[in-house]
Amino acid sequence: MHSSPSETFPDLRLIGIDFSSAPTRRKPITVAHGRRRGQVLLLERLEELPELAGFEALLQRPGPWLAGCDFPFGLPRELVLALGWPQRWDALIDHYAGLTRAQIRDEFAAFCAARPAGAKFAHRACDGPAGASPSMKWVNPPVAYMLHAGAPRLLAAGVHLPGLHEGDPQRVALEAYPGLLARELIGRRSYKSDDRAKQDEARLIARKDLVEGLEQGRSRLGLRLKLSHAQRDALVADAAGDRLDAVLCLLQAGWAAGQEGHGLPATLDPIEGWIVSA
């Protein structure tokens, strides 16, 4: 009988990470910290990391903690086989880290060019259930570059990545995707934009509705988000949605903390990985 992470570590800290592959002071990596108490997830604080060095330092903080990270951890098996890249996750990530962004773009563009219209990209098994962009996509959004910046740092930090890489069992990272939880609560409505011209009333109302849904625990994750008035205002006021995305990742980590085996499927592909709660 396996226990859930929260049973193994009763004082487990939870972390949600809205990641950027090139963070700045204006667009930092945004981190939500919290704890789970039964079916309630308490948001403790938000943190901003304007440099990748801050993300590296975060990963070295002693556990026990469980993080949900908004970037892909793996590549489609079909792509890896076609390119003849290593088929063990750690060796694959080492190889990938050794490429420049330009080399990644050229390799992936050549792969896509040889494929029929409508099926240009290879997909991971989790993309469909999660409604996620393929992890090989290098524009709109450039998740291939997020993988390039994020996954090698997870490997270097020695954190445990269930199903992919054995590491420190007190520091565990899972791949999260805020869009999966957001769509469940507000459908396809847009709630954020980095473009100031698009930061409109409709998106503001969508953020309010999304926060209300999280506080009422209306998602299938079965968790209620507990916020202070100031925290609620901060989530709604952030028109770029970074704080809210970090909190959505936090809730996915909180759900995983209550599941046997972090709620990951037994059939998880050890090259591709899986988006938690998909």
Q: What is the pLDDT of residues 43-57, one digit of tens each?
A: 999 999 999 999 999
CB atoms within 10 A of CB 129: 13
Beta strands in 20-136 (DSSP E): 29-37, 40-49, 65-69
The SS3 assignment for 202 reads helix
- If you ran DSSP here, which 8-state letter would residue 165 be given? B
Instruction: Give 241's contacts (C-beta < 8 A, 6+ positions apart).
Output: 191, 192, 193, 207
83-142 pLDDT, tens per residue? 999 999 999 999 999 999 999 999 999 999 999 998 999 999 999 999 999 999 999 889
| 93 vs 77: CA distance, rounded Å | 13
198-257 pLDDT, tens per residue? 889 999 999 999 999 999 999 999 999 999 999 999 999 999 999 999 999 999 999 999
Give Cα separations from 213 to 69, 130, 216, 238 (angstroms).
21, 19, 5, 17
Taking the mean position of all CA atoms in its chain, how far away is CA 208?
Answer: 22
| 12 vs 15: CA distance, rounded Å | 10
Taking the mean position of all CA atoms in its chain, how far away is CA 110?
Answer: 27
CB atoms within 10 A of CB 274: 25
* Structural domains for the chain: 5-72+159-261 (3.30.420), 77-146 (no CATH)
